[in-house]
Amino acid sequence: MKKITRRSFLETTAKAAAVTIAAPAVLPEGWYSFAGADEFGYFENEFGISDSLCQEVLAKALTKGGDYADLYFEHTISNYIMLEDGKVNRAYSDVALGVGIRTVKDDQVGYGFTQELTKESMLNAAGTAATIANAQATKTTGKFTLLKTKHYYPTDYKLVSAPLESKLPLVQSINDKCFSLSPLITKVNSTFHDQQKRILILTSDGVKAEDLQPRNYLTAFVVAEKDGKREQAGWNFGGRRGFSAYTQAVVDRISKRAVNSAVVLFDAVQPPAGEMPVVLGPGLTGVLLHEAIGHGMEADFNRKKISTYATMIGKKVAESFVTIVDDGTIPNLTGSINFDDEGTPSQKTVLVEKGIMKSYLHDKISAKFYKVKPTGNGRRESYQHYVVPRMRNTYMEAGPAAAEDVIKAAKNGIYVEDVANGQVNIGEGDFAFYVSQGRLIENGKLTAPIKDINIMGNGPKMLADISIMGKNLEFYNGGGGACGKAGQSVPCSFGQPTCLVKSLVVGGRR
């Protein structure tokens, strides 16, 4: 093996990132970078992680008779630049390096991980994972076949290709633009986050998969004051993109959205409380679909009979114009992946087709249980976490109606543009979300902005109560979106067209 300790390597990479922040001009192009997806062998070149070593570690993980084992190597570098009060007051980097080793027996998981990429440490972690079983040793295939997949994001993204001198103008431009858009703005915070995650997956059934996953986003958060009152709002743009995506037009769009969202709240009112029609606007409100409905379609919740969808395959769950999809192959979106964290190629998975429940979101464990193929939804936060079924980019397909006709059909109710701080009971699907941006609907038209309200309902019932679907499908293009489950957080996105829900509970004024 290559003689390099984890400590010395982390110190080297941290210094490289720090130099990028402090004085990027001293680094020659390519001095430190991740290889592209077509330049395989990163972990072997840097750490001596050979196929023969991995076969030995997998064999150790199966010494007590597990059905399957896998290795998940990770090296992630994250950079942050934060501007507040007109100054860049924080700039730092995080480095994560290690391997997670999993042994599966039926639906049980043994897991070990180590930050030391040495043979001894990996064999010890594999021994920990192996204890889930208690039988004769299981053999591996003895060889690996490199997984070939399509690429849904830039794979030539280098850590030093966007030095500090390139990033500083972004956060400074956000600051200047926001202040120029309204005299009511009193405070601006801006952040640029840039991450490159290199992973290598090797499995006991012979899969070898290697990838570089970029993730980045640019944010604006503003505070506005008027007549002694204060309002705040924010917006971001990002995903799995190259640095060239962050143009002046993007800066202007982020700034305008953040400023307008804050300033409009000075004229906001509270709607009356009670049950009423609710129109969900396009794009960002897809988080309701994700939280209140999508989680209930993850296979582990159904395998364990937790979700209300556990007996709904092949049954009607919505009107015939409703189709729900989870798709990891949409270029540049935050939830897109070339393959999942078990080495299953990414794909488009139809969950509900024309109102009929068709599929769950599967990892290898649930796919074996249901006797179907994995859908590429086995995901984990890092090498320290085991795989569970998770969403990628979840959305409802466009319907037949014009957006203005959806609003008109509501007659009197509310129009929701943005929600936050949600709570969901996965089992029953009950939810409550804070509406941070929206408008009243009066006589079929959008009128006054609204604020300080909650909407409450039940996910499966909300799905069944969608009565009109617009044709204006939009995706949320923020890069900061992440989904929490099982103590883990993974990047994801969502989307939907404008749609009308017949009735939800609105917590407004009495």
Tens-level pLDDT at each residue, the chain (510 residues): 444 455 555 544 544 444 343 333 222 333 233 444 446 799 999 999 999 999 999 999 999 999 999 999 999 999 999 999 899 988 888 999 999 999 999 999 999 999 999 999 999 999 999 999 888 899 888 899 999 989 999 866 665 456 777 889 999 999 999 999 999 999 999 999 999 999 999 999 999 999 999 999 999 999 999 999 999 999 999 999 988 899 999 999 999 999 999 999 999 999 989 999 999 999 999 999 999 999 999 999 999 999 999 999 999 999 999 999 999 999 999 999 999 999 999 999 999 999 999 999 999 999 999 999 999 999 999 999 999 999 999 999 999 999 999 999 999 999 999 998 788 898 888 999 999 999 999 999 999 999 889 999 999 999 999 999 999 999 999 988 789 999 999 999 999 999 999 999 999 766
Exposed, middle or buried by CB within 10 Å (0-12, 13-18, 19+), for 85? Answer: exposed
Backbone dihedral region for residue 44 (phi beyond 0: left; psi -120 to 50: alpha; all else: beta): alpha
d(CA 24, CA 28): 9
Say if pTM beats, i.e. exceeds, 0.85: yes
Cα within 13 Å of Cα(171), Cβ side: 26
d(CA 162, CA 168): 10
Q: What is the DSSP letter of 315?
A: S
Residue extents of the structural domains in the chain: 6-263, 274-507
| Contact between 218 and 191 (Cβ < 8 Å) | yes
CATH superfamily of 6-263: PmbA/TldD superfamily (3.30.2290.10)
d(CA 51, CA 65): 21
| Contact between 254 and 235 (Cβ < 8 Å) | yes
Does an H or E element contain 273, and which? none
